[in-house]
Amino acid sequence: MSRAELRENNIKFLEKITDWVMWWIGSIPSLIVHSIVFLIAFLLPVFGIVAVDKMLLILTTVLSLEAIYLAIFIQMSVNRSHEHIEDIREDIEEIQDDIEEISEDIEEISEDIEEISVDIDDIQEDIEDIAEDEDEDDHNERARNVMLKSNVSSNKNDIKAMREVIANLQKQLEELKKDGNIPSSDQ
């Protein structure tokens, strides 16, 4: 393990210890232990085990050391909170930047939608024009079809009339052949 890794591991270990100590000092078991220690400290002179001035000197020294460590732990907690706040502030700034970009994207999409809407209106107009043109074309086609049907019908009638004429001519030819005016093709 390199020195940097060893140092990093030691720092993490110390941070875990300080986190546990800060948690414990602010807990109910800590309140109970401190109350018991203070009670014992004040009872020692009453039972004559320790002189009052020595007990007060020791208690004052212990409380001063505890206060110093508590101040250090509190400052460490404030520093960590400040780091977390800075991280959160940076995250918020990034989120705000993202929101601004999203807002710009939404505006662009809105503009695109408006353009698409205009294009759709234009396409709808073109479709209507085409439909009108088709209606005109259909009308013209129907007129042509009617004329063609009329022509076909007229042609059928003409052909029918021609057949009747041909049939009449054939009858007349047969009669003429019978009468002997025209020699038959058999002869």
**70 within 8 A of 26, measured Cβ to Cβ:** no
35-79: pLDDT as tens digits: 999 999 999 999 989 999 999 999 999 999 999 988 888 888 888
User: Mean pLDDT throughout 142-169?
Assistant: 66
Region of poorest pLDDT, from 9-18, 101-110, 141-150: 141-150
Q: Give the span between the Cα atoms of 176 and 182, in whole angstroms.
A: 6
- Beta carbons of 55 and 44 less than 8 angstroms apart: yes
Sequence length of the chain is 187
Q: Are 55 and 41 in contact (CB under 8 A)?
A: yes
Query: For 28-51, where are the alpha helices, taking DSSP H only?
Result: 28-46
Within a domain: 181: no
Is a pLDDT exceeding 70 seen at residue 185? no
When the pLDDT of each residue in the chain is averaged and rounded to a whole number, the result is 81
Q: Is residue 155 part of a domain?
A: no
Which of 127 and 69 is assigned the larger pLDDT? 69
In a domain, 110, yes or no: no
Give me the pLDDT at residue 151, please. 59
Helices (H) and strands (E) in the chain, counts: 3, 0
Give me the amino acid identity at 48. Answer: G
Percentage, residues of the chain above pLDDT 90: 25
User: Total domain count for the chain?
Assistant: 1
Q: What is the DSSP string of 92-147?
A: HHHHHHHHHHHHHHHHHHHHHHHHHHHHHHHHHHHHHHHHHHHHHHHHHHHHHHHH
Q: Report if residue 165 sits inside a domain.
A: no
Looking at residue 103, its pLDDT comes to 80
Question: Domain residues for 46?
Answer: 3-99
- With contact defined as beta carbons under 8 Å apart, do 176 and 167 qualify? no
| Structural tokens at position 96 | 């705000």
Q: Is residue 27 part of a domain?
A: yes
Inform me whether the pLDDT recorded for 186 exceeds 70. Answer: no
Contact 74, 26 (CB under 8 A): no
Between the two ends of the chain, the Cα-to-Cα distance in Å is: 137
